[in-house]
Amino acid sequence: MLKAATSGDAEAQYELAIMYANADGVLRDDARATKWLHLAAEQGHLGAQNELGAGYRLGILVPRNLTKAANWFRKAAEQGDATAQFNLGIMYDNGEGLPPDDLRAVELYRKAAKQGLAQAQFNLALMYDDGEGIPLDDAKAVKLYRKAAEQGHEDAINNLGYMYENGEGVNQDPVEAYAWYSLGGVYGCKPCTQAKNYTASQMKPGQLADGEKRAAAYIKAYGPAK
């Protein structure tokens, strides 16, 4: 692998960097890991660009530098990488090393969400839910929460249950709320379990049985892989 990396193979450079970063078969060496990551990233390797973006954002392997983090995420995002689009969106959303820009954050979340990234679907739903950078639209928020919820995103499951419980963006439906909260409980979401118990206490006779049946179907379809 060293020979291939030295000869300019970007994938070999990336894999060697990860080996040095994780002490996988070699002694941990942050300097060497960073060197090989940069060489791979400069050739357009998406994994290396994302690793450097995350490293500079969090101060892992390299000193924290939000400007460099944004630059590396942008390079990967421009190649269509969903994770980089999401991370760059977060930086615009929070104003991390960049001027806060809800419109740009929405644009990036939407690109990543279209590729099926649950975190991006959830964040875009929040933007619709709160009317940040985009007109408030609870119905669109519900659709996005569901896309993320079906992938097991706990916060999306909880928020989707809340929308059904309170009739926001959808018709109020305690049975549906109970089913989603139940799914969240399977993932270990404590707020979901608390909300499920409260919803059950407010249900009319017969609704609880329907909720249990629907919950079983959702758990079978969207629950943790066995």
3-state secondary structure the chain: CHHHHHCCCHHHHHHHHHHHHHCCCCCCCHHHHHHHHHHHHCCCCHHHHHHHHHHHHHCCCCCCCHHHHHHHHHHHHHCCCHHHHHHHHHHHHHCCCCCCCHHHHHHHHHHHHHCCCHHHHHHHHHHHHHCCCCCCCHHHHHHHHHHHHCCCCHHHHHHHHHHHHHCCCCCCCHHHHHHHHHHHHHCCCHHHHHHHHHHHHHCCCCHHHHHHHHHHHHHHHHCCCC
Is the model's pLDDT at 194 over the cut of 80? yes
Give the pLDDT confidence score for residue 225 in this predicted structure: 82
Q: What would the pLDDT profile of 152-186 be if each residue is shown by its tens digit?
A: 999 999 999 999 999 999 999 999 999 999 999 99
| pLDDT grade for 6, boundaries at 50, 70 and 90 | confident
Residue for token pair 């954050």: 105
Q: Where are the domains of the chain?
A: 1-85, 128-226
Is the model's pLDDT at 1 over the cut of 80? no
Give the pLDDT confidence score for residue 173 in this predicted structure: 97
Is the model's pLDDT at 48 over the cut of 90? yes
Mean pLDDT across the stretch 103-130?
A: 98
Give the pLDDT confidence score for residue 226 in this predicted structure: 60
Residue type, 177: A
Q: What would the pLDDT profile of 77-90 be if each residue is shown by its tens digit?
A: 999 999 999 999 99
Residue for token pair 């179907």: 217
Is the model's pLDDT at 209 over the cut of 90? yes
List the CATH code of the domain at 1-85.
Answer: 1.25.40.10
| pLDDT grade for 99, boundaries at 50, 70 and 90 | very high
Give the pLDDT confidence score for residue 7 in this predicted structure: 79
| Arithmetic mean of pLDDT over the chain | 95
Give the pLDDT confidence score for residue 5 in this predicted structure: 81
Mean pLDDT across the stretch 141-161?
A: 98
Q: Residue 69: how many CB atoms within 10 A of its CB? A: 25
